Amino acid sequence: MVTFYGRSFESRFLIGTARYPSPEALRQSVIRSGAEIVTVSLRRESVGGAKAGHAFWDLVKSLGVAVLPNTAGCHGVREAVTTAKMAREVFGTPWIKLEVIGDDETLQPDPFGLVEAARALVADGFEVFPYTTDDLVLCERLVEAGCRVLMPWGAPIGTGRGLNNPYALKLLRRRFPDIPLVVDAGLGAPSHAAAAMEMGYDAILLNTAVATAGDPPAMAEAFAEAIRAGRRAHEAGLMAETDLAQPSTPVFGAPFSPFSG
């Protein structure tokens, strides 16, 4: 079970709702993922006019999941804060996945704008889920700003490269033992998700790897299984790595032959 801002969930899989080939593919992917939280962009909800927006929102509501609105595509503090306030009105939740993009090529967050926006939103009563890099100092500043969840990337959004910097991710886990940590962005295969969960991360958020798969619902299920396996492995306790081989079968005494002597 994972807890975000006082709300507990059985599933450790948060799934995005963009880029699916059809509404039915989205619906089946969410169901087979077992996710209890979906991310929704205010821009995505509004695409295609009011009719399309209402149809999309009706689909999301029919799934019976919690909604995490995001400020996807925002490039400045004012834009992100304004979008967050609009999302709170539209979706009726204080939750916000905060994105303040600083670079168009990598979609890397603007660290200065992210902290400033987080501080403003927390002061306004929001419960902020910041999309951030794996930079330790930046994450400390976000916690100081009032964020009670951190969402570091594994790799740039949509790249599918997996965990680019395992050392930094492990360091974050050690430094923030009591803060829920969610790997968000860059995961391309279920094995990437399992590796993050084996490190002790609390949850995984992804979209592209499922939505663009040949069979999105099947891929959603594969990720769900990997997330569960990774978490179980972490809880069971992984064996320590060693430089030298160690026999797995114990050997007692010296070899002997019943025909000797």
* Tens place of pLDDT per residue across the chain (261 aa): 999 999 999 999 999 999 999 999 999 999 999 999 999 987 644 544 556 667 888 899 999 999 999 999 999 999 999 999 999 998 999 999 999 999 999 999 999 999 999 999 999 999 999 999 999 999 999 999 999 999 999 999 999 999 999 999 999 999 999 999 999 999 999 999 999 999 999 999 999 999 999 999 999 999 999 999 999 999 999 998 888 888 777 766 656 666 655
Q: List the structure tokens of 142.
A: 């976000």
- pLDDT value at residue 196: 98
- In this structure, the number of other CB atoms found within 10 A of the CB of residue 78 comes to 12
Predicted local distance difference test score (pLDDT) of residue 251: 67
Is 208 annotated as ligand-binding?
yes
Residues assigned a catalytic role:
97
Note the pLDDT of residue 47: 45
Tokens of 192: 């990437």
Is 207 annotated as ligand-binding? Answer: yes
3-state secondary structure 12-66: CEEEECCCCCCHHHHHHHHHHHCCCEEEEEHHHHHCCHHHHHHHHHHHHHHCCCE
Nearest to 77 by CA among 39, 105, 110: 110
The whole-number pLDDT of residue 113 equals 97
The CA–CA distances, whole Å, from 69 to 83, 108, 187, 229, 239 equal 10, 19, 20, 28, 39
Regarding pTM above 0.75, the answer is yes
CATH match for 2-236 among 3.40.190.10, 3.20.20.70, 3.40.50.300, 3.40.50.720 = 3.20.20.70
**Using alpha carbons only, how large is the chain's radius of gyration in Å?**
21
Of 90, 94, 140, 88, whose CA–CA distance to 114 is shortest? 140
pLDDT of residue 183: 98
Instruction: Count CB neighbours of 100 within 10 A.
Output: 25
- Is 185 annotated in a binding site? The answer is yes
Annotated ligand binding at 186? The verdict is yes
For residues 127-154, one letter each, b for 16 or more C-beta atoms within 10 angstroms of the residue's C-beta and e for the rest, the string is bbbbbbbbbeebbebbbebebbbbbbbb
- Residue 168, number of CB atoms within 10 A of its CB: 16
Count other Cβ atoms within 10 Å, centred on residue 215. 13
